[in-house]
Structure 1
Amino acid sequence: MKAITLSLLVLLLSACSNLEAEQPPIAYHSKDLSDSDNDGVINARDLCANTRKNAVVDNDGCPTVIHSEEENKLHILFANDSTVIPSAYDQHIKNMSNFLDKYPQTHIVLNGYASPVGSAEHNKYLSIHRAANVYKALVAAGVSPKRIQTVGFGDSDPVQAETRDEMMTLSRRVTATVVGMDSSVVESWTIYDQRKD
């Protein structure tokens, strides 16, 4: 009995040693999956080189960009026959300076006006010098002179109002509108990223 068990055991062991596992199939890529610029997008789909890490990309491998714009206005009123900026507008000047600092590619055009009283020549002078004084105030607040332009319109564009006194008051002004534009790349994140909120 012992001899039979031993024979069976030897037979089983010899049968097991002859078994070989089937080799796994070799995978061949039909397309080149390399990423030469290491931006996470394969060359075959990468029309935008060096895409920023974690950027959400479209089918061409280009980052998704959000465009935004912001508007800021300057509106300063002057006393009759004066080119002096009232101190009440100091913060307006500072706010515009900060806005121009935030959008360094923007420029500002200062439009000077006068009320339609007195000679047209004197009103032209007032409008030019009002705009020039706002120009100086912006430069003093840190804005580059190259980014500022001034125009004096004289009394050619009075503000429409209910009374003549109100029209005169509102017409003695310097105005400007600046639009700042910005673009930012949409980013994705995974559980391995640190989110920047």
Structure 2
Amino acid sequence: MKLNLFKSLPVALAGLFVGTAAMAQEPATTTPQFRTWSIGVNAGALTPLSPLGGRNDFSNNKTSFGYGLYIKKQITNYFSLRLDGVAGKLKGDNTEAYDSGFTNTSTVSAFDTKLNYSASLNAVVNMFNIDMFKKENAIQLYTSVGAGLAGYKPTVTTAGGTSAYAGGKAISELIIPVGLGAKFKVSDGVNIDLGWTINFVDGDNLDGLYKNGNNDKYNYAYAGLEFALGKGKQLAFHNPVAATYDEALAAKNAANALKGDLDAQKAENAKLRSEMADLLKDTDGDGVADKLDKCPGTPSGTVVDGSGCPLKTPEKVVEKVVVTEEDRKVVNEAIKNLEFDLNKATIRAKSFASLNRVAALLVQKNFSLKLAGHTDNTGSKELNLRLSKARAESVKAYLVAQGANASRIEATGYGMGQPIASNKTAAGRQKNRRVEFTLY
């Protein structure tokens, strides 16, 4: 069951890439247009060892020819997915001594493994563009890591002759490829690709010899060509940092140009202000410019006409207000008849007639009136102050409603602070609850 699952993985991965490619045929909406799909072919050296640790099963690991191809989708400027395929041969023997002094007691003296395929899906990360201030670079370094399957058939040589490992059947094992490389852009559509991949095999049977339970490894160092598909620049070589830098630089230049225009405008405004200062100069401070002032030297504070000469203001006629005894009688009657609802500022109806006569007097003779509200000492000081003020305002509102001039009526509340009788008796408290009218 495990073997069938691994065998189906390359087919599933290929289907994923084909489906993605079909979706990519839809019209692109990004601007500018970039090339994001590419294919590559390569050839190089396959070696059954790794410099990253572990002991090899054979002392002399030979280098053999290998070849490969891949399909790549560049998702961002720095990240892509790549489907790789590699094939070739892996060889080794025990004709040399181990560097560590290890003595090989195995009856197997050599192996020759045919790598039918090595298929893996890899995540490729562009580490950086060589020049961070160029929008399009020509050299790029990258790393990769992935997972996949390797199918191979080892043949071993023993003292009795050559024989196929595991009955001559091909083996499939999971592999983890880790690599790095460099690309050199020749044109917008062609790159030279140099790379090196270490493949970690999930098994100890790559060389036909099971030994110590150490998983086998193999290297693939290659050189090849990558062909970018489509139109436009290659997204992998496009540097967004430099593009952002150029945009910021353009914005800075535009800001500097605007600043130059602003400075020129400020200089022009300063020149205009200097010229206007001469035209608007007003030595005596009367509000009329010297060029138009026919009466220069006017004392400060003098009211002048448009030519700067003093205005002759008519003397203010003060109307004398005379309050007669009859007028006071009308007011006193209103005070005597004024009543409010208990603990309220509502005027009772019996007070309306005398208040109407006060209102008529204010309208006819243009008198001014001061209303002073007072209370007894029943309740808190704050409450009585509010009540006295409210009652005085209530009387003012009534008089205004009858036609009196509101600006000539002043309403003030004094609370219980100015009694005219003792608050110890009901009669005294009744006298203290009042609104005084002062006519003037």
Counterpart for residue 209 of structure 2: none
Distance 1:68 1:136, change over 3 A: closer
**Counterpart amino acid of 1:84?**
T
TM-score (norm 2): 0.24
C-alpha separation in 2, matches of 1:125 and 1:134: 14
1:126 and 2:387 matched: yes
Query: What is the aligned counterpart of 1:168 among 408, 429, 433?
Result: 429
1:87 and 2:336 matched: no
On the 8 A contact 2:362/2:368 being kept in 1, the answer is yes
Structure 1: segments with no counterpart, 5+ residues: 1-66, 180-197
C-alpha separation in 2, matches of 1:142 and 1:128: 22
Q: Displacement of 1:133 after TM fit?
A: 0.3
Counterpart for residue 149 of structure 1: 410
Structure number with the higher strand fraction is 2
Counterpart for residue 396 of structure 2: 135
SS at match of 1:102: helix
**Counterpart amino acid of 1:125?**
R
Equivalent pairs: percent with the same residue?
Answer: 24
Q: Which structure would you say has the larger Rg?
A: 2
C-alpha separation in 1, matches of 2:426 and 2:383: 19
Distance 1:173 1:78, change over 3 A: farther
Q: Deviations over 1:135-192 (max 9, x none)?
A: 110011110111111110100122316971011122221110314xxxxxxxxxxxxx
On the 8 A contact 2:376/2:432 being kept in 1, the answer is yes
SS at match of 1:98: helix
**Counterpart amino acid of 2:342?**
N
1:178 and 2:413 matched: no
Aligned residues: 112
Higher alpha-carbon deviation: 77-86 or 141-150: 77-86
Matched ranges for 1:1-197 at <5 A? 69-70=323-324, 71-72=327-328, 73=331, 74-75=334-335, 76-104=338-366, 106-160=367-421, 164-179=425-440
**Counterpart amino acid of 2:350?**
A
On the 8 A contact 1:77/1:170 being kept in 2, the answer is no
Structure number with the higher helix fraction is 1
TM-score (norm 1): 0.52
SS at match of 1:109: strand
On the 8 A contact 2:373/2:412 being kept in 1, the answer is yes
C-alpha separation in 2, matches of 1:149 and 1:178: 11
RMSD: 2.1
On the 8 A contact 2:376/2:423 being kept in 1, the answer is no
On the 8 A contact 2:323/2:439 being kept in 1, the answer is no
Q: Displacement of 1:79 after TM fit?
A: 4.1
C-alpha separation in 1, matches of 2:419 and 2:343: 15
On the 8 A contact 1:112/1:154 being kept in 2, the answer is yes
On the 8 A contact 2:375/2:388 being kept in 1, the answer is yes
On the 8 A contact 2:363/2:405 being kept in 1, the answer is no
Q: Deviations over 1:34-72 (max 9, x none)?
A: xxxxxxxxxxxxxxxxxxxxxxxxxxxxxxxxx964132
Distance 1:80 1:167, change over 3 A: farther
SS at match of 1:100: helix
Q: Displacement of 1:99 after TM fit?
A: 1.0
C-alpha separation in 2, matches of 1:162 and 1:130: 19
SS at match of 1:93: helix
On the 8 A contact 1:113/1:174 being kept in 2, the answer is yes
Larger RCO, structure (CA 8 Å, separation 6 or more): 1
C-alpha separation in 2, matches of 1:161 and 1:79: 22
On the 8 A contact 2:374/2:388 being kept in 1, the answer is yes
